[in-house]
Structure formats: structure tokens, C-alpha cells
Amino acid sequence: MARKPVTWYIATPADGIIEMSRQAGTPVNLAASVGKVIEHPNPCANLWFDESPFSYFRMVKRVGEALEDTGIWPITWPVRLWIVEPLGETGNWSQRYYPYRLLSHQIRVLEETDAHRALGPAGRDVLDVIQQQIPERAVRWAADWDADPEGMRQRQWNWEQCGGRTCGSGRWAESVAFTTSHARRESAAQTWIEHLARHAVDQALADTDASMYAYTYAYGRATGHAVAAQHQARFDAYVLDALRGVDLDLDAPVPAAA
């Protein structure tokens, strides 16, 4: 049976320019080069050494790692995802540690693909949680904390450390998600998901008087919900409910009336 051709991906900011090429002063615009061959503007002479901030094209074959090592900061959305073909001589830093990555001095830009794929197979659902659900819930989470800080601190500790019959402990579920992301080559996806979830909290609470501790609590709840969406087809309710912290919402304190 013939092996399936390998698909290689490069992620860029919304303008289509490889961020590391921009930072190096030699911007390479993939959006303007679909169907074309691009030669690296300043390739490294010693393969494959970082002789400059942008010494070669770097691409990955596991789409969940496409957002790793992009140079894009701060982490933001949307981004764009490109399917490329490496040409000429190719290499790798280490086949043992980077088997999913390839380096080259020449690429052909084949097409743009849906960027949500870089957040994993459930990328659309992850974005729905981050963009539609977290903003409203973050306000409630922060209010719950500030209504009863000591009570919520104890409830949070119980959730983090103690599992139950219906769901595991929060810390255990987080470790399961982290390990699964690594095994599925979605570590970069999870990192971005968590950053985007925290950013959604920042935006939702920007005009409130939420305390610093309420922010921290809301960050944890938001990242748990977003990562649960990432792995929703892989885990059962015992893990997903622990990530979402469903027990923390049971009989949550009601803020006192003004």
C-alpha cells in the first residue's frame, strides 16, 4: 500500500507574513505567494544552524504543532495556516526529538487551509468556547469568588486535590490533558488555547472591579473549559467534568445585593 503523502504546515499572523521573517527584516508573505516557489531571502550557510533570527523555513507535519515556535507574540487570533511543499535540500535538528518538523531553504505555497485546525480536531468548538462562552461565564466566576473568597478558596482546593465518584480531581485531569496533548502532538495547540482563554477573561473583566484573586480563579476555570473542548471526543465525563470544574458551580455563593 502506498504511503499517504506528508502534508506540511506553516502558521502566520493574519497578514500572511512569516513572523520570524518580519522580525529579521526580510518579510516573506505567504498570502501573496500561493502557487509560487519562494527562495529563502537569507539562508544559513551551515545546515541547519540559527545564523540569524530567520535562517530557514520551518514547517511541521502534525498540524497541532503548527503554532509552535512561530515568533508570534503576543498570542492572538485569528492566525492563518498554510500548506506548503518543501523543495531542495531539507533537514532537521534531530529526528529523535523533532520527527514532526522539517527545515528547508525553498518552499512552494500550495494553499491556505482552515486555521482552526491548528487548535486540534475540535478547533471550531474550542473557538466557540473561547469567543462565545467564556466572556459571559468569566464575569460570573469572578463574582462568585469575590462574593465569598474564603469559601471559594476552600472549594477550589477541594476541586484541585480531591476527586469523587462522578469526576476526578482538577490537578489530575489537567495532567491527563497535558499528557494527551503531548502524545497527540498538540502541545502547541494547548498552549495557544490556554493563552486565548486567559485573554478572553481579561477582556470580559476589563470594566469590572474584580479582584486579582478573582481573575486568577477565572483564568483557571476558562482554561479548563477550553482544554475540555479540545479533548471532548477523547475523554469521558469523569475527566471532562473535572477539567470544567463542574462541582465548583454547585451551590456557588450568590453576590450580596447592593
Q: Which residue has the higher pLDDT, 164 or 208?
A: 208
Predicted confidence (pLDDT) at residue 253 exceeds the cutoff of 60: no
44-103 pLDDT per residue, tens:
999 999 889 899 999 999 999 999 999 999 999 999 999 999 999 999 887 776 778 999
* pTM exceeds cut of 0.85: yes
DSSP letter, residue 117: G
ω before 99 within 30° of 0 (cis)?
no
ω before 74 within 30° of 0 (cis)?
yes
205-249 pLDDT per residue, tens:
999 999 999 999 999 999 999 999 999 999 999 999 999 999 998
Query: Given this model, what pLDDT does residue 258 score?
Result: 45
Closest CA to 221 of 206, 235, 242: 242
- Kindly report the average pLDDT of the chain as a whole number: 94
3 state DSSP class of 154: helix
